[in-house]
Amino acid sequence: MSALSFIRARHLLIAAALAFIALFLVLPLISVFFAALQKGLAAYGAAVVDPDALSAIRLTLLVAAIAVPLNIVFGVVAAWSIAKFDFPGKSLLVTFIDLPFSVSPVVAGLIFVLMFGAQGWFGTWLQDHDVQIIFAVPGIVLATIFVTFPFVARELIPLMSEQGRDDEEAALSLGASGLQTFLRVTLPNIRWGLLYGVLLCNARAMGEFGAVSVVSGHLRGITNTMPLHVEILYNEYNFVAAFAVASLLAMLALVTLVLKSIVEWRFGYHHGSARH
């Protein structure tokens, strides 16, 4: 094969890949903003500041504000104990932490209905004590924690295993306390991996649909998150409003991608696994 035909083949491959990405990734993204602005900025603005939309935005922020920090704490603790200590059943534990990624979001919602719903294990007890979890905010938070469970841990386990425990042992032997060692040695070592995991965890927490849909009950203005609000508007054929709220979520996705890319390019962070 001549050099010229190699260059031609290269251009052909690049063109094919770019066409595929344009058709399957870029086009849907553009269409969200296009449909949202179809009736002008006024209609767009009205959809975003609608009281139901605002309460959906508030609930989405609240759920993420609870679920993400909890997953950060768990992720760091889990990755720490897996990476820095040896114990039997370690690989099984890692598999269990990964489990929520393999479970359909709908099943993730169902399991909490089976536990806390009216017919669930704790259903009668909860009713007697007037505690509502399913079709209420606690259920949405629980389902969100479940689906975002592996993000931070998954990112940190390979990173912390690779770093070993030499740095920590040195710090401890020089007289640093456990907390000092964590704040001054461990945390700086893992910061970019942690940020990476948190970004993806947050995007999923704010965007989760299936699991939340099962436990929410779709009470407008009360248990509607932004993705659920998009669905309701869409099913009411209120397309401009549906795409307007969707465009806010699309912007969240874009911001996530930009920050993630900065972590990768600027700080040379190399993300370790393909699983999300």
| Residue 176 DSSP label | -
Helical spans, DSSP H, in 121-225: 123-128, 137-148, 150-163, 166-173, 178-181, 187-207, 210-216
Residue number with CB closer to other proteins (54 or 77): 77
Tell which one of 43, 103, 176, 195 touches other proteins (CB under 8 A). Answer: 103
Residue 276 in contact with other proteins, rule: CB under 8 A: yes
Rounded Cα distance between 158 and 193, Å, is 10
Residues 43-102, interacting with other proteins (CB under 8 A): 74, 77-78, 81-82, 85, 87, 93, 95-100, 102
Residue 161 in contact with other proteins, rule: CB under 8 A: no
Residue 173 in contact with other proteins, rule: CB under 8 A: no
Residue 7 in contact with other proteins, rule: CB under 8 A: no
Which of 56, 63, 148 lies closest to 108, judged by CA?
148
Residue 267 in contact with other proteins, rule: CB under 8 A: no
Tell which one of 54, 114, 131, 183 touches other proteins (CB under 8 A). Answer: 114
In 70-89, which positions are buried (b, 16+ CB within 10 angstroms) versus exposed (e)?
ebbebbbebbbebbeeeeee
Residues 182-241, interacting with other proteins (CB under 8 A): 200, 203-204, 206-210, 213-214, 226-228, 230-231, 234, 239
Helix 51-84 / helix 150-163 crossing angle, nearest 10 deg = 30
Q: In whole angstroms, how close is the CB of 60 to other proteins at the nearest point?
A: 10
Helix 137-148 / helix 51-84 crossing angle, nearest 10 deg = 40
Q: In whole angstroms, how close is the CB of 109 to other proteins at the nearest point?
A: 8
8 Å CB contact between 246 and 31? no
Residue number with CB closer to other proteins (119 or 174): 119
Q: In whole angstroms, how close is the CB of 65 to other proteins at the nearest point?
A: 17
Rounded Cα distance between 41 and 27, Å, is 21
Tell which one of 44, 135, 146, 269 touches other proteins (CB under 8 A). Answer: 146
| Residue 237 DSSP label | T
Residue 244 in contact with other proteins, rule: CB under 8 A: no
Residue 124 in contact with other proteins, rule: CB under 8 A: no
Residue 193's Cα: distance from chain center in Å?
Answer: 15
Q: Which stretch binds other proteins (CB under 8 A): 43-51, 145-153, 177-185, 187-195?
A: 145-153
Tell which one of 2, 3, 24, 173 touches other proteins (CB under 8 A). Answer: 24
Q: Which stretch binds other proteins (CB under 8 A): 27-35, 46-54, 165-173, 186-194?
A: 27-35
Q: Which stretch binds other proteins (CB under 8 A): 125-133, 160-168, 186-194, 246-254?
A: 246-254
- φ/ψ (deg, to 5) at 87: -155, 155
Which structure tokens are listed for 249?
Answer: 């979520």
Residue that is written with structure tokens 């969200």 in the block:
32
Residue 28 in contact with other proteins, rule: CB under 8 A: yes
